[in-house]
Chains A and B, each alone.
Chain A
Amino acid sequence: MTESFAVPQIVIEVIYLVASALFILSLRWMSSPVTARRGILAGEIGMLLAIGGTLLHHGIVDYKWIAIALVLGTIIGVPLGKVAMTAVPQRTAVSHAFGALCVTLVGTAEYYLQAPNVPPFTMAVLGMEVILGSLTFTGSLMAAGKLQEILPQRPLTYKGQNFVNLSLLAIAIGLAVYLVIHPEAKFLFPFIVGIPLLFGVSMVIPIGGADMPTVISLLNAYAGLSAAAMGFVLNSKLLIIAGALDGSSGFILSVIMSKAMNRSFTNVIFGAFGQVQAAAGEAGEAKQARSATAEEAAAILSAANKVVIVPGYGMAVAQAQHKVRELFDALSKRGVDVKFAIHPVAGRMPGHMNVLLAEADIPYDRLLDMDEINGDFPQTDVTLVIGANDVTNPAARTDASSPIFGMPILDVDKSRTVMVIKRGMSPGFAGIDNPLYYLDKTLMLFGDAKGFVGNIVRELGGGQG
């Protein structure tokens, strides 16, 4: 019955060609918020064409399971597309896991279909596909667990951890190499799936919350590379292109993130932060921080001409973005120039703060990147830090003994007055004390970010109306 619908292979290939072009355009249009939604449309059309073209494939004899799977996938996908904006980092991690799962399953099926006659090159990329795929699968699930706080966000370390991790990876690669030479050794294949699954878990265990932006980006790159490897196995140019695009995107983001933390990939993965906490606690005792009330803060803010707000993960946790929008409105109405300074690693994934502030309807031309805003701080009257810590720590510039020394930071200490909304004096995720809090120009506003910003807004409203 399907034979009568048989479409020449060349037609399907042309459809794939068009889809590939649409994918590239889709990413091209993401360069600006003005054209970005057109980019989605291009991506969607490309995807529909590719799936439609594939359904015409002459080898397909049974559409029942495909239809069920497409429906089921849609049922799972819709709620994943509707999660709250604050849950976007864990959603992204989950979708990396799904992508990797798909690739791993297809790779496994291909091996058993072709074994024992797997050509060496096919076996090599197949090995790469399932190793990258399975470590990305469990690694992403672990990252999602940490982001959702089902698992502890603190790095969990033990002695010899790096040795164990590297050995696991080395064994998996060794077995894959053996399979390239002896593809008939079917009993070994489950190990090159299983061992990387373990490695994915043990790789993410020692990684702390603050390093999540780099880890998510790296997992993104792995997911892309494994899909490209799958393209080589299936001889699908469309898949190679999509995988290469995704892989380079993840790679670029990883580079940006690790540069923004002044750390190398290897340092993020093998050098868990957090061991410094003990030493940091004592140093703070002798110094005095000044605190202020919402009323005082409101008075200072309304007297300012230029205000910069620095949001961090604390704003996301307190879901304070809508209150921040009210503050932005109240100050703008009084003629105060309000801008937002976004550090590349603020939050838990690349661009996290931008999405939250956009959700609260703050115009995107008010959101400035670290490089764009750093020159403005000396002319800024008041900088208000909301739930950000390490990215404002001047020790990164001045104190060579600090663990974050050399990390590019927002130069908030150069503005005339600094106000920091914080729950207490506890150090941030990196466990490092912040000398910013003890400067004469700094006022600490102790309290929950959402509540405190709300109080400031009330004071501003009550003052002059």
Chain B
Amino acid sequence: MSGNLLDNLFIFMLAGFIGFEVIRRVSPLLHTPLMSLTNALDAIAVVGAIVLAGEHKTTMAAVLGTIAVVAATSNIVGGFLITDRMLKMFKSTRGTGKS
């Protein structure tokens, strides 16, 4: 257990540094879509909720898990949709905005 804990702390630290370096480079132009994208990615918490809802260990855990899946899924769907809508709008004078 303590081995796992240390591994996880190392991963957390490394991911934090990667996040810091990667996100520092994001242009201020895209700060709003950045926030909606990280929001959608953060909804990966849905994996924990799915297991709770599916394992059905207790009724309470299943109910809470199901509500959690609803909340996270709406963030995933809504987050990706709106980020894509926003990014589609960013166009350069040279017309290179599209991918």
Q: Is A82 an interface residue (CB 8 A)?
A: yes
Q: Complex: how many Å from CA A270 to CA B72? A: 31
Distance in angstroms from A409 CB to nearest chain B CB is 16
Q: Is A462 an interface residue (CB 8 A)?
A: no
With A32-B27, A99-B71 given, is the CB distance from A113 to B57 under 8 Å?
yes
Question: CB-CB contacts of B22-55 with A at 8 A, as 1s and 0s?
Answer: 1111111111111111111111111111111111
Q: Complex: how many Å from CA A237 to CA B5? A: 11
Question: CB-CB contacts of A47-59 with B at 8 A, as 1s and 0s?
Answer: 1001101110101
Closest to B99 in A: A37
Number of A residues contacting the other chain (C-beta, 8 Å)?
A: 115
Contact A99 B39 (CB under 8 A): yes
Contact B76 A47 (CB under 8 A): yes
Closest to A68 in B: B66
Interface residues of chain B, those whose CB is within 8 Å of chain A, are 1, 4-5, 7-8, 11-12, 15-16, 18-20, 22-58, 60-62, 64-94, 96-99
Q: Residues of A contacting B24 with CB < 8 Å?
A: 252
Contact B35 A33 (CB under 8 A): no
Distance in angstroms from B63 CB to nearest chain A CB is 8
Contact A235 B42 (CB under 8 A): no
Distance in angstroms from A10 CB to nearest chain B CB is 16
Distance in angstroms from A215 CB to nearest chain B CB is 12
With A54-B51, A77-B76, A351-B29 given, is the CB distance from A27 to B45 under 8 Å?
no
Q: Complex: how many Å from CA A367 to CA B19? A: 26
Q: Is A178 an interface residue (CB 8 A)?
A: no
Contact A81 B29 (CB under 8 A): no
With A51-B50, A73-B69, A101-B68 given, is the CB distance from A246 to B56 under 8 Å?
no
Q: Is A249 an interface residue (CB 8 A)?
A: yes
With A43-B80, A239-B48 given, is the CB distance from A81 to B85 under 8 Å?
yes
Q: Residues of A contacting B56 with CB < 8 Å?
A: 61-62
